């Protein structure tokens, strides 16, 4: 497409944030900055990439327009401890530590006007409960978790208050489906012998009080939801703190799959025992990949009916990243694993390449699906901070090290605004064929073959106790570690042989007599 937008990367180090143009980078292979560095403590893009926020050291929260990097609004909120920008950049959500129960410490600000759109009280926040108000990717729906219920709002007019609610006694976590935001999944932990459950409800004013799908299970302390694109299926990783088989110190995990119409509710058939390290839907929403099992872990791709489509073998893997175009899958082992990466073309079912990115903390595909970025960031790692960018086939394109790096991320763009990756794959394949032909033609001419020098293999490692044992053996038996006999040993051996020969001759003489 001629209208394809350029790629941009936001980088935040100890001095603040800066935005890079590219890749592809300039002729010298280095990125060009788009702005002067701005001091801040945290940054985040909106999901659609139209805006991003930056929290500065003086407590000011600035909203920037991503295209021009122009500051469009700033907010000064005292004692703020958490911030969040909505998917389309319409709202800024802030959390302050409450001083009294009557204080409304969660505020929702309109980024265009600067007005306070909504406020509420929340005692504390966790990863499960923040942000307090959740939006769908297109901001067509907004909801929050309250005691024994999920409350819904009108995202265009929060002054209406709660427009609808779903009553779920004991609800502890929820997840709104992606576009379309037609359903919500809720989790109820097990209590006093009764099993925990995951339930799917329809959203909106016409939502039914009964779930359209439900799955119950014992031994569940927490869950991770993963909706597909299209909001037709839900994957649930159920985590238990205790493994009844005592094979894992970290407890056990099970992977369940539910459809919104209730036609499928059950376990995903995994062929190896062990934890579920990662599970990711493709961007098409028609298949998902799972890396699971004790190391070396297995990688399998399933369709929407939980039928295996492709096995990608075993290896030191715990991370999956789908290309935004849905054709290429990166299988990697980050964190405490060596950093191996393999890149698969799922359509043609072949491996495109492999590489290594040690000490990676974050990893992400570019919006056009042609570059894969990995970063080693603080505070997870205090040394060897840096950025690596790879081509879609695993070849390294760029590397830059930092004394201290806190955050790296692509500016979000819709994948539909870029060319299909299949066209790039075809052009690369044609180049490979041409290179192969030229090499074949050149090999037909006879060329002198240079002699290949023999390389002496290094000696095998022998621990100190083995060397000491060999020395003792040499002293006792007269044999050195290399297997050769010493002079004394040879002399003694000849004496023994002469003595045996003399004894044999004497014995034969007495028999003849």
Kind and range of the H or E run holding 433: helix 421-443
Angle at 285 between CA 281 and CA 290, to 5 degrees: 25
Distance of CA 247 to the CA centre of its chain: 24
210 class by beta-carbon count within 10 Å (0-12 exposed, 13-18 middle, 19+ buried): exposed
CATH level 2 (architecture), domain 140-267: 7 Propeller (2.130)
pLDDT value of position 299: 95
pLDDT value of position 458: 47
Per CATH, 140-267 and 273-417 having the same topology is answered yes
Say whether 510 sits in a helix, a strand or coil.
helix
Strand positions, DSSP E, 111-172: 116-120, 133-135, 142-146, 149-153, 162-167
CA distances from 200 to 222, 311, 397 (A): 17, 30, 44
* Nearest of 190, 209, 108 to residue 150 by alpha carbon: 209
pLDDT value of position 55: 92
CATH level 2 (architecture), domain 38-135: Beta Barrel (2.40)
CA distances from 111 to 56, 63, 137, 155, 224 (A): 17, 7, 17, 14, 31
Average pLDDT of the chain to the nearest whole number: 83
> Domain map of the chain by residue range?
38-135, 140-267, 273-417
pTM of the predicted model as reported, rounded to 2 decimal places: 0.78
DSSP secondary structure, 479-497, as one string: B-TTSPBPHHHHHHHHHHH
Cα dihedral 495, 498, 504, 505 sign = negative
Long-range contacts of 317-320 (CB under 8 A, 24+ apart): 317/277, 317/291, 318/277, 318/278, 318/291, 319/277, 319/278, 319/291, 319/363, 320/278, 320/279, 320/280, 320/289, 320/290, 320/291
| DSSP state at residue 212 | S
Say whether 159 sits in a helix, a strand or coil.
helix
| DSSP state at residue 417 | G
CATH number of 273-417: 2.130.10.10
* Nearest of 178, 409, 131 to residue 284 by alpha carbon: 178
d(CA 89, CA 437): 52
pLDDT value of position 194: 85
Per-residue pLDDT of the chain (513 residues; tens, 9 = 90+): 456 788 999 999 999 999 999 888 877 888 888 888 899 999 999 999 999 999 988 889 999 999 999 999 999 988 889 999 999 999 999 998 888 877 899 999 999 999 999 999 888 888 888 999 999 999 999 999 999 999 999 999 999 989 988 999 999 999 999 888 889 999 999 888 888 899 999 886 655 678 888 888 888 888 899 999 888 899 999 988 766 665 666 678 899 999 988 888 889 999 888 899 999 999 888 899 999 999 899 999 999 889 999 999 999 999 999 998 878 999 999 988 999 999 999 988 999 999 999 999 999 999 988 999 999 999 998 888 999 999 999 999 999 999 999 999 999 998 888 877 665 665 555 544 554 555 555 544 444 443 333 334 445 555 555 555 555 555 544 545 445 566 777 888 888 888 888 888 887 766 555
């Amino acid at each position: 497409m001629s209208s394809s937008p350029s790629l941009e990367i936001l980088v935040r180090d100890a001095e603040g944030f800066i935005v890079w143009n590219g890749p592809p980078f300039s002729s010298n292979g280095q990125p060009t900055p788009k702005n002067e560095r701005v001091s801040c403590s945290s940054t985040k893009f909106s999901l659609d990439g139209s805006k991003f926020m930056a929290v500065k050291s003086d407590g000011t929260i600035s909203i920037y327009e991503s295209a021009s990097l122009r500051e469009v609004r700033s907010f000064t909120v005292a004692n703020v401890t958490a911030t969040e920008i909505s998917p389309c950049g319409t709202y800024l959500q802030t959390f302050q530590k409450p001083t009294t129960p009557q204080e409304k410490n969660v505020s929702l600000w309109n980024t265009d006007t600067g007005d306070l759109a909504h406020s509420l009280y929340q005692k504390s926040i966790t990863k499960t409960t923040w942000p307090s108000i959740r939006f769908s990717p297109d901001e067509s729906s907004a909801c929050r978790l309250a005691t024994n219920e999920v409350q819904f709002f009108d995202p265009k007019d929060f002054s209406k208050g709660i427009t609808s609610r779903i009553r779920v006694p004991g609800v502890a976590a929820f997840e709104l489906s992606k576009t379309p935001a037609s359903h919500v999944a809720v989790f109820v932990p097990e209590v006093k012998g009764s099993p925990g459950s995951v339930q799917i409800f329809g959203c909106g004013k016409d939502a039914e009080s009964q779930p359209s799908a439900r799955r119950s299970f014992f031994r569940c302390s927490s869950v991770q939801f993963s909706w597909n694109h299209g909001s037709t299926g839900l994957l649930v990783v159920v985590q238990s703190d205790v493994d009844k088989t005592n094979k894992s110190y970290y407890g056990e995990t099970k992977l369940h799959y539910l459809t919104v119409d209730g036609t499928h509710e059950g376990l995903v058939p995994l062929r190896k025992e062990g934890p579920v390290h990662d599970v990711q839907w493709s961007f098409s929403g028609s298949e998902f990949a799972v890396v699971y099992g004790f190391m070396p872990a297995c990688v399998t791709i399933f369709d929407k009916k939980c039928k295996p489509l492709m096995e990608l073998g075993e290896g030191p893997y715990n991370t999956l990243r789908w290309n935004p175009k849905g054709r290429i899958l990166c299988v990697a082992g980050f964190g405490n694993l060596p950093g191996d990466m393999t890149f698969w073309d799922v359509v043609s079912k072949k491996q495109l390449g492999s590489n290594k990115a040690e000490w990676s903390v974050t990893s992400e595909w570019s919006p056009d699906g042609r570059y894969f970025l990995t970063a080693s960031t603080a505070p997870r790692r205090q040394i060897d901070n840096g950025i690596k960018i790879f081509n879609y086939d695993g070849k390294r394109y760029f590397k830059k090290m930092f004394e201290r790096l806190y955050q790296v991320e692509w500016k979000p763009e819709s994948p539909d605004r870029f060319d299909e990756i299949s066209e790039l794959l075809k052009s690369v394949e044609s180049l490979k064929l041409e290179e192969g032909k030229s090499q074949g033609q050149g090999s037909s001419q006879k060329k002198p073959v240079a002699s290949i020098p023999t390389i002496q293999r290094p000696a095998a490692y022998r621990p100190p106790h083995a060397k000491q044992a060999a020395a003792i053996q040499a002293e006792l038996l007269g044999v050195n570690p290399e297997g050769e006999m010493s002079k004394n040993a040879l002399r003694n051996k000849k004496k023994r042989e002469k003595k045996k020969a003399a004894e044999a001759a004497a014995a034969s003489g007495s028999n003849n007599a």
